[in-house]
């Protein structure tokens, strides 16, 4: 039989703690951007089952509001990095999850290769009555006996089994069920968790379960024999000197604390660098799924959400206001750049280019969702019309809204977004002119907006005023490929 406390358990236990803390804190950052939990993908304001915010916005609110107003600035002590940085929080979340899973894989390989699984996986139902008996013993302030020939008592074994073989995979599965690319390509998968909001709620409850386990786990170590337990899990040797083990263990915890402080400080101080460095590890994975997953969404009319949040205040320029007053009759959309046939199209002409309608689910990066029907021109038809040159790699959508005027908070410049040309060819990538059978309402992007159903909402530029095909987006704005990427440090990759 394998040793009760092999060295690889000590190492993976430490790494697991480090990455789980990163995951929990960056996960809370993500939650802070939309501190509400729902069971339904319509997210009707006021119908959340949990709310971690005092702010109240109703669909009948008298003041216009945008979903970004619902975001909370959480303290960097709990959230990574805190202070309304969902873009960076997500970067940390997706970076750490890769290493957390890697740690888990190494651990599981060792568990099965060495036969350690005998200590973790109950092979008889008697584990349940035995565990109840164990818990009863604890409640009498006594320590239950270990299973003969094994390192743990029954309740402990059962708890570890549940955490390792049920809770950890559950968090991975519910996490994947929140990716817009995955949801768009495999709508059935989302349904397993009652949609994205179900997955989001369950993922949060999984975090709570991890937290509860950690508290119990640590208190159990404290009620057991601390020096001996420390020697086992820190030095992989129950017979080692307990005091040494406690000192080394505390040094390890201190190291984790220091690393977290440095990571948090660096992320807040050097936001662009953090965005770039973590992007190197996160974006390739996103690119792979964005390239290979096409949206296969097909919702029914009765799935259309009664209420659809708005993100971003409408343009305030007189130019736009004049156009709107005139029912956008004077609107024309220039499409140019690296193309063979640059054009400028009125709404009438645009309608003539193609016609496509789809009922799909919108995923805002903040976390809310809503279903609507969108009608308009497939971007693929636009591509056929203007014929981009070989050198054209990205499509830039420029918008009418100057965020310095509509949003403030020290931000500036006109909203814009870019997507790789292959995303524009996706059958559900369209220039929408209609929402739910009506001309686009002002707040949802009239007269023309982008819809890309495998991506997060921030990629779908509203109030489009011009389209350009370019080789690279480095010279546009601050060079990150979009206004939110530039100014809010969102990942350019938006399929997850
Ligand atoms: N021009 C412009 N387009 C924009 C935004 C914006 O602020 N300005 N916000 C984006 C974000 S973050 C989201 S989630 C969606 C929201 O679309 P909706 O307001 O129709 O719900 O629009 C995207 N397109
Ligand atoms: Mo968004």
Q: Are residues 379 and 474 in the same domain?
A: yes
Report if residue 225 sits inside a domain: yes
Q: Are residues 69 and 149 in the same domain?
A: yes
Q: Separation of 115 CA from ligand 2 center, angstroms?
A: 48
Q: Are residues 334 and 251 in the same domain?
A: no
Which protein residue has the closest C-alpha to ligand 1 atom 15? Answer: 457
Alpha carbon distance 268, 34 (integer Å) = 20
Q: Separation of 333 CA from ligand 2 center, angstroms?
A: 24
Report if residue 493 sits inside a domain: no
Closest CA to 199 of 213, 215, 180: 180
3-state SS class at 197: helix
Q: What are phi and psi of 19, to 5 degrees?
A: -75, -35
Q: Is residue 154 within 8 Å of residue 124, measured between CB atoms?
A: no
Report if residue 494 sits inside a domain: no
Closest-lying ligand 1 atom to the alpha carbon of residue 462: 3
Sign of the C-alpha dihedral computed for residues 162, 164, 169 and 170 taken in this order: positive
Closest-lying ligand 1 atom to the alpha carbon of residue 315: 1
Q: Separation of 380 CA from ligand 2 center, angstroms?
A: 24
Closest CA to 308 of 376, 357, 359: 359
Which protein residue has the closest C-alpha to ligand 1 atom 5? Answer: 312
Q: Is residue 385 within 8 Å of residue 469, measured between CB atoms?
A: no
Q: End of a domain among 264, 288, 312?
A: 288
Residues with CB under 6 A from ligand 1: 308-312, 364, 399, 401, 415, 444-445, 457-458, 460-463
Q: Are residues 283 and 422 in the same domain?
A: no
Q: What is the pTM of this model?
A: 0.96
Alpha carbon distance 372, 442 (integer Å) = 16
Task: Indicate the top mutation candidate among 373, 442, 462 to test ligand 1's pocket, ranked by most ligand atoms within 8 A of CB.
Answer: 462
Which residues, listed in sequence order, are joined to residue 397 by a DSSP beta bridge?
417, 467
Q: Separation of 460 CA from ligand 1 center, angstroms?
A: 6
Residue 382: alpha-carbon gap to chain centroid: 31
Q: Residue 322 maps to which CATH number?
A: 3.90.420.10
Closest CA to 458 of 434, 482, 430: 482
Residue 186 DSSP label = -
Number of structural domains the chain divides into: 2
Q: Are residues 229 and 366 in the same domain?
A: no
Residue 371's domain comprises: 297-488
Q: End of a domain among 288, 322, 347?
A: 288
Which protein residue has the closest C-alpha to ligand 1 atom 7? Answer: 312
Report if residue 472 sits inside a domain: yes
Task: Report the 3 state secondary structure along 436-459.
Answer: CCEECCHHHCCCCEEEECCCCHHH
Q: Separation of 65 CA from ligand 2 center, angstroms?
A: 13
Q: Are residues 130 and 208 in the same domain?
A: yes
Which protein residue has the closest C-alpha to ligand 1 atom 23? Answer: 458
Please count the residues of the chain: 496
Which protein residue has the closest C-alpha to ligand 1 atom 24? Answer: 461
**β-pairing, 369-378 with 36-37?**
unpaired
Report if residue 75 sits inside a domain: yes
Report if residue 496 sits inside a domain: no
Q: Are residues 277 and 324 in the same domain?
A: no
Which protein residue has the closest C-alpha to ligand 1 atom 16? Answer: 311
Q: Are residues 259 and 360 in the same domain?
A: no
- Tens-binned pLDDT, residue by residue, of the chain (496 aa): 899 999 999 999 999 999 999 999 999 999 999 999 999 999 999 999 999 999 888 766 777 889 999 999 999 999 999 999 999 999 999 999 999 999 999 999 999 999 999 999 999 999 999 999 999 999 999 999 999 999 999 999 999 999 999 999 999 999 999 999 999 999 999 999 999 999 999 999 999 999 999 999 999 999 989 999 999 999 999 999 999 999 999 999 999 999 999 999 999 999 999 999 999 999 998 988 888 999 999 999 999 999 999 999 999 999 999 999 999 999 999 999 999 999 999 999 999 999 999 999 999 999 999 999 999 999 999 999 999 999 999 999 999 999 999 987 788 999 999 999 999 999 999 999 999 999 999 999 999 999 999 999 999 999 999 999 999 999 999 999 999 999 999 998 899 9
Report if residue 68 sits inside a domain: yes
Report the pLDDT value the prediction gives residue 62, as an integer from 0 to 100: 72
Q: Are residues 274 and 317 in the same domain?
A: no
Q: Is residue 399 within 8 Å of residue 462, measured between CB atoms?
A: yes
Q: End of a domain among 241, 267, 288?
A: 288
Q: Are residues 246 and 317 in the same domain?
A: no
Q: Are residues 227 and 375 in the same domain?
A: no
3-state SS class at 152: coil
Task: Please name the helix (run of DSSP H) or strand (run of DSSP E) that holds residue 468, with its range, or none.
Answer: strand 464-470
Locate all alpha helices (DSSP H) within 293-375, ordered by sequence.
318-325, 347-353
Task: Indicate the top mutation candidate among 306, 396, 457, 467 to test ligand 1's pocket, ranked by most ligand atoms within 8 A of CB.
Answer: 457
Q: Are residues 368 and 385 in the same domain?
A: yes
Alpha carbon distance 454, 379 (integer Å) = 14
Report if residue 1 sits inside a domain: no
Alpha carbon distance 63, 270 (integer Å) = 35
């Amino acid at each position: 039989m394998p040793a009760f406390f092999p060295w690889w358990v000590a190492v993976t236990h430490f790494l697991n703690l480090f990455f789980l803390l990163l995951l929990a804190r960056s996960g809370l950052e993500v939650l802070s951007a939309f501190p509400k939990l729902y069971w339904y993908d319509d997210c009707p304001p006021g119908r959340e089952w949990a709310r971690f915010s005092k702010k109240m916005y109703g669909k009948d609110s008298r003041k216009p509001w945008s979903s970004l107003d619902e975001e909370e600035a959480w303290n960097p002590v709990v959230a990574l990095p805190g202070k309304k940085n969902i873009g960076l929080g997500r970067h940390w979340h997706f970076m750490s999850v890769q290493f957390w899973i890697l740690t888990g894989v190494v651990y599981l390989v060792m568990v099965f290769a060495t036969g350690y699984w005998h200590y973790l996986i109950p092979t008889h139902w008697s584990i349940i009555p035995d565990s109840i008996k164990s818990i009863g013993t604890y409640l009498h302030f006594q320590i239950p006996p270990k299973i003969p020939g094994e390192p743990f008592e029954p309740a402990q074994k059962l708890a570890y089994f549940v955490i390792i073989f049920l809770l950890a995979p559950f968090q991975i599965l519910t996490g994947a069920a929140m990716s817009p690319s995955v949801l768009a390509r495999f709508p059935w998968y989302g349904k397993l968790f009652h949609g994205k909001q179900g997955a989001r709620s369950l993922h949060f409850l999984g975090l709570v379960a991890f937290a509860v386990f950690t508290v119990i786990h640590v208190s159990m170590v404290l009620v057991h024999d601390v020096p001996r337990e420390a020697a086992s899990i820190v030095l992989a040797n129950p017979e080692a000197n307990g005091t040494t083990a406690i000192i080394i263990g505390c040094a390890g915890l201190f190291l984790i604390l220091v690393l977290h402080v440095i990571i948090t400080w660096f992320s807040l101080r050097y936001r662009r660098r953090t965005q770039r460095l973590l992007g190197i590890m996160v974006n390739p994975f996103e690119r792979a799924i964005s390239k290979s997953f096409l949206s296969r969404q097909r919702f029914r009319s009765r799935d259309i959400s009664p209420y659809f949040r708005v993100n971003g205040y409408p343009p305030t320029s007189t130019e736009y206001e004049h156009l709107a007053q005139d029912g956008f009759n004077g609107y024309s959309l220039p499409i140019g750049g690296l193309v063979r046939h640059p054009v400028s199209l009125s709404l009438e002409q645009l309608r003539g280019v193609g016609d496509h309608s789809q009922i799909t689910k919108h995923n805002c990066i903040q976390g809310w969702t809503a279903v609507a029907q969108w009608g308009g021109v497939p971007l693929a038809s636009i591509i056929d019309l203007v014929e981009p040159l070989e050198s054209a790699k990205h499509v830039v959508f420029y918008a009418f809204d100057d965020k310095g005027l509509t949003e403030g908070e020290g931000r500036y410049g006109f909203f814009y977004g870019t997507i790789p040309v292959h995303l524009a060819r996706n059958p559900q990538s369209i220039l929408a002119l209609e929402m739910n059978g009506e001309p686009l309402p002002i707040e949802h992007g009239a007269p023309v907006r982008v819809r890309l159903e495998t991506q997060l909402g921030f990629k779908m530029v509203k109030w489009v005023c011009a389209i350009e095909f370019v080789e690279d987006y480095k010279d546009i704005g601050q060079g990150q490929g979009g206004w939110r990427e530039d100014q809010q440090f969102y990942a350019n990759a938006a399929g997850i």
